[in-house]
Amino acid sequence: MRNPWVIFVCILVGFPFLLFAQDSGAKELDSTKTSILIDSLNKAAFSKKNANLSEALSMLAQIKELAQKVNYHKGLSSAYYTEAGIFQQNGFNKRAHLLYEIALDNSVMYNDTINIPMINLQIAAFKVSEGKIDEAVKLYNQSLDAFVKMGMIKEVANTKNSLGLIEIKKNNYAKAESLFKEALQLSLTQKFVYGQKKSFYNLGLLARAKKDSATARSYFENSLSLDNLLKDNYGMALNQIQLVQLLLEQQKTGEAIAMAKIAYENARKINAYNLMISSITIIKDAYKTRNDLSNTNSWQDSMINTLKLKVDNEVAYANNFIELVKDKETQKQKANTEIEKANKRASSQLIVIFVGTFLLLILAIMVIMAFISYRKQMLLSRRLYKQNAIIEENAAALDQLNKEINLKNLLLEEDNRTIDKLLSIISHDLRNPITNTQTILSLINKGALSPEESKVLLEQLETQYINTTGLLDNLLGWLKSQITGKELERSDINIYDLMNGMHLEQKIPLMRKRIKFINNTQNDATIRAEKEMIKIIFRNLITNAIKFTPLDGRIEISFREDAVYDYVMISDSGIGMSEDVLAKVNAQKYFTRTGTLQEKGSGFGLILCRDLLQKQGGSLLIESAKGEGSVFTVQLPKATFN
């Protein structure tokens, strides 16, 4: 009699487990199919990132959701890598750097040997831009070793080209030449045309650095011929600008102008504004040296129109991209909400299954209570153990999901703050100068002014162009510091050498107002700061001093220190500030005055200085009295500020 009852109990107890086993097998099959789908979606998103940005971002959001759902870490790393590339190509370098680091951490955690070296290449490029050359070289060499082991010859060639450019910066010309020629040979062997033209271009740069004009021209012409083959307008313009520089060095002005015009047309076809501006500058300056005022003015107009197009395009593109990212973040939040609802439904279904199983067990116990009393206890204890394991696993998964949601919310909040500041500055400080420029040029072109009046307005236009360019540099520097919050890289900076460099940089406005620039800092005086930020700070303060110092005045730089801080003082013999004006300046609001020669300002310089100093633990102190000049003191901590 016992055997039938035992079989009956086993069926009752085992039936739910059979359902779970079938479900587990189905999930394993679905996981494999999903992994294949994720790989194909990653390839599609990478190919669409230039043609259809919105579709690419949507696909990447879907990829990350699927990859996390099935724990496919290689696909998740590839999605972060592609998303980082999109942010990088749109100028959000700090956000891109953060995403590359996330992709690298995920790849290292699961030993993804293919993605690790590819990601390291991108991070190495950021290290170079930050001046961390030794760290960049280390990453490049790690990637190079990995590519060699995997037989990825094209990537080996690309990496050697990158290492060669670093060796040029270090003046190791022999090593740079060896790396470029190795990259060229590998590219020729693989019929890798992009690698060939890149190697020729880099060899041309090396020859220019070595003052070997003939060799440089040969290499640039080889690279140009390959760009023609690839129909790469950007590469053609790049090589043609280098050839133009060589022609100018040989004083072949006519040939240089002709080639610069070709470079301009190639750049214009693809809206490569930086190359267009470089070409126009060369053409304008060449005509100016030949005293061809008609062509000089014509190309000056082209320069202004190109700058306006560049600014308008960058502003529109940045706004569109930010709106697109915000829209995608909103979609992600909605998707996360749906995931939470689905998890709750799944939990409810799991409870129903558990309750049903428990009822079946109770029914079996009631039917054969006397027979399986002992076995019932064993079965219940095993069931509780498995339930606890499932609960713990679900709790861990939910905790991880909450952390990722919090991270995404922080990134979105940071983007929103950046957007508000960006739109305020652009609408207030960049549009007005461009509109004023258009008005002045319109009056000149219509012949409504005398030659003397035109000359005065053109001089004002040149000053306005310099001011607007300076503001744009400040704005771009500030934006780069705002995108993400990574710790700054500080180094020891010789203040005497830095101020001599500032003197040379501001030589023309100093000569125009006959201002004496006095550098009283010691030869060995140093401060500890982030190099590019401190240049922006002192450039703004010295420009401000020139603006409010009259003819035949003076600007004096001095240095002192105590046990805690270093102090750099910029004193001028200018018009100074009244108490009301000083209060407005210290209020950290947009405020500007005209200079002693009616120079215009944006009101953004001192705000930027204080912002950048605050990031380094420093501060800006201002002492001034009306008619008695001003003293701007940059206070920086001696130790690294955390």
Taking the C-alpha atoms of residue 520 and residue 495, their distance in angstroms, rounded to an integer, is 10
For 529, the 3-state DSSP assignment is strand
Domain ranges of the chain: 23-103, 113-206, 487-637
Taking the C-alpha atoms of residue 320 and residue 625, their distance in angstroms, rounded to an integer, is 46
Taking the C-alpha atoms of residue 227 and residue 221, their distance in angstroms, rounded to an integer, is 10
Task: Show Cβ contacts of residue 246 under 8 Å, excluding neighbours closer than 6 positions.
Answer: 208, 213, 216, 217, 220
Write down the pLDDT at residue 42.
79
Helix axes 431-445, 293-367, angle to 10 degrees: 150
Taking the C-alpha atoms of residue 304 and residue 491, their distance in angstroms, rounded to an integer, is 38
CB 79 within 8 A of CB 60: yes
Tokens of 405: 């949601």
Tokens of 236: 């053609």
Q: Which fold has domain 113-206?
A: 1.25.40
CB 96 within 8 A of CB 84: yes
Tokens of 259: 């080639």
How far, CA to CA in Å, does 354 sit from each of 145, 204, 347, 393, 603? 53, 73, 10, 16, 68
Taking the C-alpha atoms of residue 530 and residue 130, their distance in angstroms, rounded to an integer, is 10
Pairing of strands 565-572, 554-561: antiparallel
Residue with tokens 């209060």: 583
Please say whether the dihedral angle defined by the alpha carbons of residues 147, 151, 152 and 154, taken in this order, is positive or negative: positive
pLDDT means per 10 residues in the chain (642 residues)? 54 52 51 79 73 75 82 83 76 80 85 85 86 90 91 92 92 93 94 93 93 93 93 92 92 91 91 90 91 91 88 68 63 66 67 70 71 77 75 72 72 56 56 66 76 72 64 65 65 93 90 93 92 91 92 95 94 90 77 78 78 89 91 87 46
Taking the C-alpha atoms of residue 618 and residue 615, their distance in angstroms, rounded to an integer, is 7
Taking the C-alpha atoms of residue 78 and residue 58, their distance in angstroms, rounded to an integer, is 15
Write down the pLDDT at residue 389.
76
Write down the pLDDT at residue 566.
94
Task: Show Cβ contacts of residue 131 under 8 Å, excluding neighbours closer than 6 positions.
Answer: 489, 491, 531
At 158, which amino acid appears? Answer: N
pTM check: above 0.75: no
Backbone angles phi, psi at 560, to 5 degrees: -150, 170
CB 551 within 8 A of CB 621: no
Domain 487-637: give its CATH architecture.
2-Layer Sandwich (3.30)
For 596, the 3-state DSSP assignment is coil
